[in-house]
Every structure is written in C-alpha cells, then in structure tokens.
Structure 1
C-alpha cells in the first residue's frame, strides 16, 4: 500500500483535478459553495463544515448476478469473468478508467503473473489484490462514490468526526479498498465492472469511425459530333 500515490490510475484522477484552474477569487467561491454528486451547487452558509454528499454504488458487493434490467446480460458476463478469468475483468475495468495506449496489457499481464504466483505458492489468489486495489480507489474518487467507512458511519451513526476530516477519511477509505479486494476479491472486481459498464462506454466504441458508402453518380454517354 506504500506505492498508492505512484499508481497511474490515481494519477489520472489527480490530473483531472489539476485541470480545473482559475483566479484566487474563483477558487474561494468554488470552495465556499461546494457541489453535490449530481453536479448541483450547495448553499453558502448552510453547508459550512459539512462534507459533500456522495453517491452510493449502483449495486452491492455481493450482487454477483446483477439486477434484472437492460444490463442483465453484461452483469452475467461480468460475473463469469470475475469467477474464472479475473485478469481479463481487471484489465477491462482499468481500460475504461484510463483508455491510454497499452492500458489493458500493462495491467492484465502483471495481474496474471501475480495471480499464477499466488495460486502456485499459497494456493489462492493472495498477491494480485495488492496490485489491483488502487482501481477501486480510482473508481470511487472519479464518480464521488461512498466508501466503506462512510457507509458504515451512515448506517450506525458513529465516528462522525472521522468522516468530517477529509484527509483522515481518505486514508481510512483507501485501507478499506485494500481490505475489500483482499478479502472479497472476485466480488469487488465484479462490483467495479458493473459500476463502470453503467457509467462509461468501452473505449473501443468512443473512436469508432463509420464508413459511408456513396453510390457512384450515374454517367450518361455523350454523343460524338
């Protein structure tokens, strides 16, 4: 967990934040206003010191078969990939977050090596979660999703002080992301896959070019003089 800050997935999220620039006055106004997860501005005085509300995950951690909606077929596909070839599901998830060149191979191949090494040495996939858990942190930050600590606090009503401290909350949430990947690895990959498929199209469909065939213009033979 020491190399979290150097992970390219988290650097993508940081780069998106650094793109937002402006004058000092604009930054102060933006900080004092705040924004909800749906992009709606919050009030000024009524929300001072209150954390911005975060969205909940589209499906629970153990909803392996997904929901009975238009995404049902892809949910079943995600479940099968997470159960039998998690390296492909992990690579696909990362590719949707960061569609840079070679993203799929750069994450799928190291994951496969750690997966085979963990199963051969220890009998289960205990090494790959150390490599893959930053993807969950990147998804949670990108879509402003509720973390495990915040969900627990909301359900039981305790530890309010920790949630209000943004830095402390983020450290706790990153540790919970790792614990979720380590203890429920296949389920966490499937939950992330379902979330990404509902929110982002596959990068291969974004730059798809359409070839339009135009029939040739009808030509008439002219008369010779």
Structure 2
C-alpha cells in the first residue's frame, strides 16, 4: 500500500506588522553627543555606518562614506543619496514617515544631520554596535540582531575548550604575553623621554 503524497501547501502571506515607532525623535540629536559631533563635522562617517548596516554589509563603511562625501562635495545633493537608506531602514522596521508624515527625501533635505543622527540612534537602539559594522554584529537572515547569536558568541568566547573537553588556556596566555610585551615596550620609550 502506497502512502499518499503530502501536498505542498503554499506559504501564507505575512500580514504587514502594525506601524512601529522610532526609538528616538528627529530632534533628539543631543542624546548621543559623540554621534552628534561626528555627524556635524563629518556626516559621511555616520552615513557610511548606517548604510553598511541597512544594506546588510554589501558595501563597506568606507565605500559608503566616500560616496557620500564625493556627492556632498561636488553636488551638495547628499540628501537625495541618503534618503534611500532612510527608506530602507523604515521599511525594514516598519517605521512611520516622521515627522508629520513627510516623505524620506523631504526629511533628509530639510534636516539632513538630524535625520542621520536619528537613523544612527535607531540602529543602536535595535542592538547594533555601529562601531563594528554589519559583518561583526550577530544578525539573522533578515539582518536583524539575533539574541541567540549573541549568547552563542559569548559562550564561545567564555568557554575556549579543546576537543577532549579540557579548557584551553593557551589563547588567553598568548594575549597576556602580547599585552605584557606591548606594555614593556611602551615603558622603555617612556623611560627614554624621562632622561
């Protein structure tokens, strides 16, 4: 007797999520002074970090920052370039157009620096470490921060073991030896200046 073949059911379409909320407002620039100052004097760095994460590491922070700086220097139209990343970010997290339901390009055009700071804070608020880029942040297939991956990485770091189950202290001792060598080398130079 043959078993009846199971019918492959089509995947149900996902219903759109209810609109999310931005973790901070457009005018909250001063809640992160470091990013505020960086964005004020070198917005290309902030944009590069945002674009790298929003594009799931397909381009480097350097490449995006360079592109932004080039467009800013030669045309002044960097707001048009950066509005695409804002749109991707909004769609990824189902965020409303804000403030006042303005389109992304209008927000970027009128308040470029505040918008970049808000996008940066949004990604930070969702668990991304902006300083290390997309590739080193533990993410799932959708490019979202994955708590299970974070725990897995921490477990791997904390339990360096050999195949036989014994703790492998060699990497830690090598790191300590390198640190001691660096400190001794710095102290040697420090002594030269004191004489």
Unaligned runs of 5+ in 2: 1-7, 140-152, 161-166, 171-195
Conserved? CA contact 1:95–1:103, under 8 Å = yes
Out of 31, 34, 45, which is 1:77 matched to? 34
- Per the TM alignment, residue 215 of structure 1 is displaced from its structure 2 partner at its CA by 4.1
Distance 1:35 1:112 in 2: 36
Does the alignment pair 1:206 with 2:171? no
Alignment RMSD: 2.8
Out of 157, 169, 183, which is 2:110 matched to? 183
Greater relative contact order, per chain length (Cα 8 Å cut-off, separation 6+): 1
Conserved? CA contact 2:71–2:77, under 8 Å = yes
Q: Counterpart in 2 of 1:62? A: 27
Distance 1:105 1:99 in 2: 14
- Per the TM alignment, residue 82 of structure 1 is displaced from its structure 2 partner at its CA by 1.3
Q: Counterpart in 2 of 1:219? A: none
Q: How big is each residue's C-alpha offset from its partner over 1:124-182, in whole Å with a ceiling of 9 and x where there is no partner?
A: xx31111111010001000011113xx647xxxxxxxxxxxxxxxxxxx6xx1001111
- 1:152/1:184 CA distance change after superposition, 3 Å: closer
Counting matched residue pairs gives 136
Q: How big is each residue's C-alpha offset from its partner over 1:99-133, in whole Å with a ceiling of 9 and x where there is no partner?
A: 42543123111111112224xxxxxxx31111111
Distance 1:61 1:215 in 2: 48
Distance 2:137 2:100 in 1: 37
**TM-score calculated relative to the size of structure 1:** 0.52
Distance 2:112 2:16 in 1: 32
Conserved? CA contact 2:52–2:58, under 8 Å = no
Does the alignment pair 1:97 with 2:54? yes
- 1:100/1:190 CA distance change after superposition, 3 Å: same
- Per the TM alignment, residue 92 of structure 1 is displaced from its structure 2 partner at its CA by 0.5
